[in-house]
Amino acid sequence: TGRGELKYEGKAKRVYATPDANEYVVEYKDDATAFNGVKKAQIMGKGAINNAITAHLFPQLETAGVPTHFIRQLSDTEQLVRAVTIIPVEVIVRNVAAGSFSKRLGVEEGTALSRPVVEYCYKSDALGDPLINTDTAVALGWATPEQLSRIRELALNVQAFLVPYFAARGVKLIDFKLEFGTLADGTVVLADEISPDTCRFWDAETNEKMDKDRFRRDLGGVEDAYAEMLRRVTAPGANG
Ligand code: C5P
């Protein structure tokens, strides 16, 4: 599959057109940013690891009833996906208080939530992805009420698949961010990636952070944590 015109360049990925208007190539970069681009660096091997982790998880989510944009992995750092129009609403699902939730609400990081919390943010680099609610998204024309209820249903299906998947591999899924898009026929599908850039993963035994917080908070061992997460994601689970 030949790469065509560069359609979009984000902080961690590039999206290219292909000869087939219904397919794009996504290229994963080693570039890492935090605090809305204020902090920038390279994480060696990150692009290949995030590509591999996403390529491992998306087909399993598809089998679990979550339609995704993923078609197949093309190379270490590239995957072929279905062309979607990204809905500019980032969906965060939280199981344990951390990050901006802890800060905003004064809840100690690590506090378990009695049920998953779904949050929505406006996908805007210029504004730093501000928190919104579903009324905001409808009123500003970013999504319909039907799309938003489907997005919530799919996000909770992803949650229901991932929590036991990671638990069987010695990882607590603290929170994660999803993006959805629409196909030409309007079908809502999971897009973007699921990786240590977009999830918080804590070791089940030690609570050691195994995700991008190692970079954000200068904890060191960033590359090792990403490599260990790839090993765990691709390992058979403790329960088969
Ligand atoms: O920073 P915050 O606590 O809101 O992040 C919640 C989750 O969403 C984390 O797993 C973080 O990695 C992810 N996230 C992301 N992209 C953003 C904001 C948060 O992947 N722009």
The CATH number of the domain where 175 resides is what? 3.30.470.20
pLDDT of residue 239: 60
Same domain, 72 and 174: no
Residue pair 24/83 in contact by the 8 Å Cβ criterion: yes
Domain-ending residue, one of 82, 105, 131: 82
Virtual torsion, Cα 119, 106, 211, 157, nearest 10 deg: -30
Tokens of 27: 């290229």
234 falls within a domain = no
235 falls within a domain = no
35 falls within a domain = yes
Same domain, 120 and 194: yes
Same domain, 162 and 113: yes
Same domain, 118 and 191: yes
User: Residue 2, class by beta-carbon neighbours within 10 Å (0-12 exposed, 13-18 middle, 19+ buried)?
Assistant: exposed
Structural domains counted in the chain: 2
Distance CA 129, CA 217 (A): 19
Three-class SS of 48-60: HHHHHHHHHHHHH
pLDDT of residue 138: 98
Angle, helices 222-234 vs 46-63, to 10°: value is: 30
Q: Whose CA is nearest to atom 18 of ligand 1?
A: 177
Same domain, 143 and 55: no
Torsion sign across C-alpha atoms 146, 149, 155, 159: negative
Strand order in the sheet with 70-73: 6-9, 13-17, 23-28, 78-82, 70-73
| pLDDT mean values, one per 10 residues, the chain (240 residues) | 90 97 98 93 98 98 98 98 98 99 98 98 97 98 98 98 98 99 97 98 98 98 98 87
Q: What are phi and psi of 49, to 5 degrees?
A: -70, -45
* Most ligand 1 atoms within 8 A of CB, residue of 86, 176, 177 to mutate: 177
Q: Is the CB of 198 under 6 A from ligand 1?
A: yes
Tell me the ipTM for this assembly. Answer: 0.98
CATH code, domain with 42? 3.30.200.20
77 falls within a domain = yes
Distance CA 233, CA 227 (A): 10
Same domain, 117 and 72: no
127 falls within a domain = yes
Compute the distance from residue 99 Cα to the ligand 1 centre, in Å: 8
Q: Residue 27 belongs to what domain range? A: 6-82
Give the predicted TM-score (pTM) of the model: 0.97
Instruction: Measure the CA angle with vertex 126, ends 122 and 129; round to 5°.
Output: 30
210 falls within a domain = yes
Same domain, 89 and 68: no
Same domain, 120 and 188: yes
pLDDT of residue 2: 76
Q: What count of other Cβ atoms lies within 10 Å of the Cβ of residue 71? A: 18
111 falls within a domain = yes
Q: Is the CB of 101 under 6 A from ligand 1?
A: yes
Same domain, 38 and 112: no
Q: Is the CB of 119 under 6 A from ligand 1?
A: no
Same domain, 149 and 216: yes
Same domain, 29 and 114: no
Same domain, 24 and 133: no
Strand partners, 40: 33
